[in-house]
Amino acid sequence: MGGRTSTAGYGEEAERLAEQYEAVTFAEVHRETLHLFPAEPAAVLDVGAGTGRDAAALAALGHRVVAAEPTPELRRIGERLHAGCGVRWVDDALPGLPRLRAAGERFDLVLLTAVWMHLAADERPSALDALAELLAPAGHLHLTLRHGPVPPGRRMFDVSADETVELARARGLSPLLRTERADLHGRTDVRWTELVLRTSAPGGGSA
């Protein structure tokens, strides 16, 4: 990536951000979409996993979870906070996710929480190419879109849900759910869109 990278500002503020991330629970963050998470043990990828809050919660439910986090400071905190929970940590990042794609794994659920806004317009198509490649047939992609002012020192873009859905459709992903919510940390100038997209089921039908 040219210029400021998508992870700018996160390493320097890792300890403070860890407190922020861990101050809310997995169930609180995903309450509108919990009914669409796999009920049976599944292969799960958490992209931009941060401190591993969501990855650890999913592992506790019996899922086989890979947490991809490119910021080493956050990755180390996550490995410490959630040691022994069974999450496998990987140093990989969008838009290409080259290490995960090279491994040839496929996932029933791919989760991107507070990640998509870090990608510029010219990075988002290739990022969705990579995510679609990593999804298993009938797999789900859950992502959140942040809307609001950019904090100092960060690289963020205001991405519309309509644009994201259209990019996804072009790659064989269909929208399953779209919701809006306020910011869980009380920031009145920040709001979120949640999208759930799904791949085609085996045989070409919908999931």
pLDDT digits (tens, 9 = 90+) for 79-125: 998 999 999 999 999 999 999 999 999 999 999 998 999 999 999 99
Task: Tell whether the model's pLDDT for residue 26 goes beyond 90.
Answer: yes
Confirm whether 201 is domain-assigned.
Answer: no
Distance in angstroms (rounded) separating the CA atoms of residues 112 and 46: 6
Residue with tokens 């794609």: 101
Closest CA to 16 of 83, 87, 77: 77
Residue 128's domain spans which residues? 14-34+43-179
Confirm whether 194 is domain-assigned.
Answer: no
Beta strands of the chain (E only): which ranges?
A: 43-47, 64-68, 88-90, 107-112, 135-147, 174-182, 191-198
Which CATH number goes with the domain that contains 104? 3.40.50.150
Share above pLDDT 90 across residues of the chain, in percent, rounded to a whole number = 68
pLDDT of residue 1: 31
Host H or E run for residue 189: none
Confirm whether 3 is domain-assigned.
Answer: no
Average pLDDT, the chain: 87
- Banded model confidence at residue 189, pLDDT cuts 50, 70, 90: confident
Confirm whether 99 is domain-assigned.
Answer: yes
Distance in angstroms (rounded) separating the CA atoms of residues 8 and 12: 9
pLDDT tens by residue, 59-83: 999 999 999 999 888 899 899 989 9
pLDDT of residue 204: 47
Are 31 and 194 within 8 A, CB to CB? no
- List all residues 6 or more positions away from 174 whose beta carbon is below 8 Å from its beta carbon: 168, 197, 198, 200, 206
